[in-house]
Amino acid sequence: VQLQASGGGLVQPGGSLRLSCAASGRTLRGSAAGWFRQAPGKEREFVAGTPRSGGYTYYTDSVKGRFTISRDNVNNAIYLQMNSLTPEDTAVYYCALGPRTITSSLRNPDAYDYWGQGTQVTVSS
């Protein structure tokens, strides 16, 4: 299974980016999907996730109302739409796939089996 993340870059505060994560080797259907981020000197943190059953989305408090996670089971891709970006959102963003991840563990990076390589998001004026 390979996850290829893309869409990162440099954006000014208040701007938007859309991250994509293309999956190959395994269908997304039936797997939990998540986005995590890691800033320099900090631990990897949960950003957004959707459970194996789909239909629901979960976010860390700091991004609620600004970020939206979505999945396309036909094209086997996960997306993260990020709006109203702030410098505090600067980090490397990782997508993750969890065929065995239960909903209560969505926020736990150890619960995921597959990871993308990360894409850098920098928010700066």
Using the predicted structure, report yes or no on whether residue 5 has a pLDDT greater than 90: yes
Q: What sign for the dihedral angle of Cα 24, 120, 81, 47?
A: positive
Percent share of the chain, pLDDT over 90: 86
The full DSSP string for 36-97 is: EEE-TTS--EEEEEE-TT-S--EE-GGGTTTEEEEEETTTTEEEEEE-S--GGG-EEEEEEE
Q: What is the pLDDT of residue 54?
A: 81
For 41-96, the pLDDT digits (tens) are 999 999 999 999 888 999 999 999 999 999 998 899 999 999 999 999 999 999 99
Using the predicted structure, report yes or no on whether residue 31 has a pLDDT greater than 90: yes
Q: What is the pLDDT of residue 82?
A: 98
CA 56 from centre of chain: 15
Mean pLDDT over each residue of the chain, to the nearest integer: 95
Q: What is the pLDDT of residue 18?
A: 98
